[in-house]
């Protein structure tokens, strides 16, 4: 199966010598070819080049897709979402406008516990239906590789239910999906904290491990949720089952999440709204990708992660949506790119790399996703005619996606 994309005004995000992640000044570079073509074979990128240098010969085996003068870009890689949830929480949205903070809502038994109650009373099929609808929406917006967490179950049965839904989504969707066990998202209603931590370690992790339902493990390591000490114990238990950490760290307070994450070889530490500048040094020399979620800062009116300083210190940054019902009810990665530029002060090229190749790295998938390189999985989208890459974050509410190709197959929109 071959697919040739012609009439590409600019092919961007290409790599001749692919890197697993980009750091520091490298993040400012996006390689492009103008007036380009792109060839896909058996679901993977096979070749690309400038029309002026000659195009591949066409025969009946080649399906031709007309880019109609649009740009071609690698799909967004959204490395942090919670899109399996039941219903919505706009009542809390109003509470927040009326002055309650995210933490106050959580302390009153709202927030995550609210979603856990709703999820408990929702069937697995209905959860799957709702989550697939959200996934389809973000695919149409250009996302092609996405991580999805559990964490609204908070009991063995309901956490397994969520993870089974994610497994079904992996099988049903053309997007690449990675799954994360986030039993330690909040303490289950009415249970002492230590008893719940022990339940995660003794029962949930072994069962999730036995059933191979999660690629990664996550903990909401923050003030009012789980301590670094509890986080360390949970990460150790999960390591025995091969689940690498990707953790919620330093969102509400500089609470030691980044330090414990790096210590346990986390693939990423995410949020970082309250991370101090001194903590940046903890990340140096590690394999951990600091991941900013600027949609959360926007929606909760919180400080922004110090992504600019992290890049200026020579390190890499990823950005992700955090799509969830409480703190970020949106998975729009184009808007995340805008926020990365406007609020985190990333240049458009840096924001683009943060939302593609570095996002793929934060899911352990940058060997196969995150850029247009020979041999990588052909997940990309074609834009409407737009003047430049910087136009994407600049025109922050203008839809740009025209066609989506996942695994080398043109998707119906
Ligand atoms: O990443 N911070 C913790 N968890 C989610 C929010 C979950 C919720 O409020 O439902 C987040 O922002
Ligand atoms: Fe989150």
Residue 274 forms part of a structural domain: yes
CA–CA distance, 264 with 256 (Å, rounded to integer): 13
Asked whether residue 66 falls in the same domain as residue 173, the answer is: no
Q: How far is the CA of 80 from the centre of ligand 2 (A)?
A: 6
Pocket of ligand 1 contains residue 282 by CB under 6 Å: no
Asked whether residue 25 falls in the same domain as residue 145, the answer is: no
Q: How confident is the model at residue 103 (pLDDT cuts 50, 70, 90)?
A: confident
Asked whether residue 103 falls in the same domain as residue 229, the answer is: yes
58 pLDDT exceeds 90?
Answer: no
Q: Could you identify the residue written with the tokens 């697919």?
A: 3
Q: What tens digit of pLDDT does each residue of 358-393 get?
A: 999 999 999 999 999 999 999 999 999 999 999 999
- By C-alpha distance, which of 299, 301, 279 is closest to 290? 279
CATH code, domain with 231:
3.20.20.140
Asked whether residue 123 falls in the same domain as residue 148, the answer is: yes
Asked whether residue 164 falls in the same domain as residue 275, the answer is: yes
Asked whether residue 131 falls in the same domain as residue 222, the answer is: yes
109 pLDDT exceeds 90?
Answer: no
107-121, 293-307, 311-325, 337-351 — which is least confidently predicted?
Answer: 107-121
Q: Which ligand is nearest to the CA of 224?
A: 1
CA–CA distance, 132 with 119 (Å, rounded to integer): 15
Instruction: Look at the chain and report how many structural domains it folds into.
Output: 2
Residue 256 forms part of a structural domain: yes
To test the pocket of ligand 1, the residue of 324, 325, 329, 336 to mutate (highest count of ligand atoms within 8 Å of its CB) is 324
Q: How far is the CA of 120 from the centre of ligand 2 (A)?
A: 20
Q: What tens digit of pLDDT does each residue of 304-337 get?
A: 999 999 999 999 999 999 999 999 999 999 999 9
Q: Which ligand is nearest to the CA of 180?
A: 2
Q: Could you identify the residue written with the tokens 């697995």?
A: 124
Partner residues linked to 65 by β-bridges: 5
Asked whether residue 133 falls in the same domain as residue 255, the answer is: yes
Question: What integer best gives the mean pLDDT of the chain?
Answer: 97
When pLDDT is averaged across residues 76-80 and rounded to a whole number, the result is: 99
Q: What tens digit of pLDDT does each residue of 196-246 get?
A: 999 999 999 999 999 999 999 999 999 999 999 999 999 999 999 999 999
Residue 366 forms part of a structural domain: no
Q: What tens digit of pLDDT does each residue of 174-192 get?
A: 999 999 999 999 999 999 9
Residue 294 forms part of a structural domain: yes
pTM strictly above 0.85: yes
User: How distant, in Å, are the alpha carbons of 148, 175, 365, 405 from that of 377?
Assistant: 20, 11, 10, 10
Q: What's the 3-state SS for the chain?
A: CEEEEEEEEEEECECCCCCCCCCHHHHHCCCEEEEEEEEEECCEEEEEEEHHHCCCCCCCCEEEEECCCCEEEECEEECCCCCCCCCCCHHHHHHHHCCCCHHHHHHCCCCHHHHHHHHHCCCHHHHHHHHHHHHHHHHHCCEEEEEEECCCCCCHHHHHHHHHHHHHHHHHCCCEEEEEEEEECECCCCCCHHHHHHHHHHHHHHHHHHCCCCCEEEEEECCCCECHHHHHHHHHHHHCCCCEEEEEECCCCCCCHHHHHHHCCCCEEEECCCCCHHHHHHHCCCCCEEEECHHHHHHHCCCCCCHHHHHHCCCCCEECCCCECCCECCCCHHHHHHHHHHCCCCCHHHHHHHHCHHHHHCCCCCCCCCCECCCCECCEEEECCCCCCCHHHHCCCCCCEEEEEECCEECCC
Pocket of ligand 1 contains residue 158 by CB under 6 Å: no
Pocket of ligand 1 contains residue 251 by CB under 6 Å: yes
Q: How far is the CA of 300 from the centre of ligand 1 (A)?
A: 11
Asked whether residue 341 falls in the same domain as residue 376, the answer is: no
Asked whether residue 124 falls in the same domain as residue 225, the answer is: yes
- By C-alpha distance, which of 277, 287, 339 is closest to 316? 287
Query: Within its chain, how far is the Cα of 202 from the centroid?
Result: 29
Pocket of ligand 1 contains residue 220 by CB under 6 Å: yes
Pocket of ligand 1 contains residue 296 by CB under 6 Å: yes
Asked whether residue 251 falls in the same domain as residue 348, the answer is: yes
Of all protein residues, the one whose alpha carbon is nearest to atom 1 of ligand 1 is: 322
Q: Is 322 left (phi over 0), alpha (psi -120 to 50) or beta?
A: left
Pocket of ligand 1 contains residue 36 by CB under 6 Å: no
Note residues around ion ligand 2 (Cβ under 5 angstroms). Answer: 322
Q: Which ligand is nearest to the CA of 84?
A: 1
Residue 106 is predicted with a pLDDT of 84
The residue segments making up the domain with residue 292 are 76-361
Asked whether residue 139 falls in the same domain as residue 160, the answer is: yes
Pocket of ligand 1 contains residue 325 by CB under 6 Å: yes
CA–CA distance, 39 with 45 (Å, rounded to integer): 6
Pocket of ligand 1 contains residue 112 by CB under 6 Å: yes
Asked whether residue 268 falls in the same domain as residue 195, the answer is: yes
Pocket of ligand 1 contains residue 130 by CB under 6 Å: no
Residue 210 is predicted with a pLDDT of 98
Pocket of ligand 1 contains residue 111 by CB under 6 Å: yes
């Amino acid at each position: 199966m071959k697919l040739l994309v012609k009439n590409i005004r600019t092919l961007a995000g290409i790599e001749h010598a692919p890197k697993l992640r980009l750091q520091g000044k490298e993040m400012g570079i996006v390689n492009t070819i103008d007036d380009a073509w792109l060839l896909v074979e058996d679901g993977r990128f096979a070749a690309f080049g400038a029309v002026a240098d000659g195009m591949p010969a066409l025969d009946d085996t080649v399906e031709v897709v007309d880019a109609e003068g649009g740009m071609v870009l690698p799909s967004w890689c959204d490395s942090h979402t919670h899109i399996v949830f039941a219903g919505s929480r706009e009542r809390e949205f109003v509470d927040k406008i009326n002055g309650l903070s995210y933490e106050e809502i959580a302390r009153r038994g709202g927030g995550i516990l609210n979603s856990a109650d709703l999820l408990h009373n929702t069937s697995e099929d209905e959860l799957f239906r709702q989550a697939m609808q959200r996934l389809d929406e973000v695919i149409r917006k250009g996302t092609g590789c996405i991580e999805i967490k559990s964490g609204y179950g908070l009991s063995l049965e309901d956490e397994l239910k969520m993870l089974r839904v994610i497994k079904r989504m992996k099988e049903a969707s053309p997007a690449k999906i990675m799954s994360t066990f986030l039993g330690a998202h909040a303490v289950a209603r009415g249970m002492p904290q230590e008893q719940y931590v022990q339940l995660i370690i003794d029962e949930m992790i072994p069962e999730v491990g036995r059933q191979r339902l999660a690629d990664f493990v996550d903990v909401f390591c923050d003030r009012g949720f789980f301590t670094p000490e509890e986080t360390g114990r949970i990460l150790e238990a999960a390591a025995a089952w091969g689940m690498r950490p990707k953790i919620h760290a330093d969102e509400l307070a500089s609470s030691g999440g980044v330090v414990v994450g790096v210590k346990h070889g986390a693939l990423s530490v995410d949020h970082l709204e309250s991370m101090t500048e001194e903590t940046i040094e903890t990340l140096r020399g590690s394999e951990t990708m600091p991941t900013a979620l600027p949609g959360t800062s926007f929606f909760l009116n919180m400080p922004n992660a110090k992504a600019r300083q992290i890049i200026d210190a020579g390190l890499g940054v990823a950005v992700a949506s955090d799509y969830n019902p409480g703190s970020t009810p949106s998975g729009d990665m184009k808007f995340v790119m805008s926020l990365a530029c406007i609020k985190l002060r990333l240049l458009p090229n840096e924001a683009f790399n943060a939302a593609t190749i570095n996002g793929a790295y934060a899911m352990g998938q940058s060997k196969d996703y995150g850029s247009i390189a020979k041999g990588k999985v052909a997940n990309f989208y074609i834009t409407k005619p737009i003047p430049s890459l910087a136009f994407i974050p600049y025109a922050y509410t203008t839809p740009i996606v025209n066609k989506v190709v996942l695994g080398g197959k043109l998707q119906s929109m």
